[in-house]
Structure 1
Amino acid sequence: MALRTYFVIEVSGLPVINKYSHYPSEEEIEAEILNRFPNGFIYDQFSKEKIYPVVQVKKFYELAGEG
């Protein structure tokens, strides 16, 4: 069986929305960050501090379907 690879952009451990068949470009990564952190950070009112995103691009493998 053949393997298929895909990449995901994980922003601060939040659920993944898009899967990419190629390594995401800087523009795609920045768009994903701005989608979840519109101001570039989230203000935590309880601890009174700004939370900045931590981004990782992860590569996954899956079995390609037959046919």
Structure 2
Amino acid sequence: MPGPDPARRVRVVPDGPVLVDGPVELVAPDGTTVRCDRFVVAVCACRRSRRFPLCDTSHRRRTRRDAG
């Protein structure tokens, strides 16, 4: 019987993505599954990525409008 999976390291980057040690399988809000076999996977935290749920650094080019 195999042992438990080792814990994944997750790093939250200020004003950036969430970095997860891969490989990972992500479930998007619409229920679709995205598998990424990279060593480190950048998960979008701002929802501005064209490749959501993966980060494509779109947050660098787009700015949020201030509420005021």
> Normalization by structure 1: what TM-score?
0.23
Q: Which has the larger radius of gyration?
A: 1
Larger helix fraction of residues: 1
Q: RCO greater where, 1 or 2, for CA within 8 Å and sep 6 or more?
A: 1
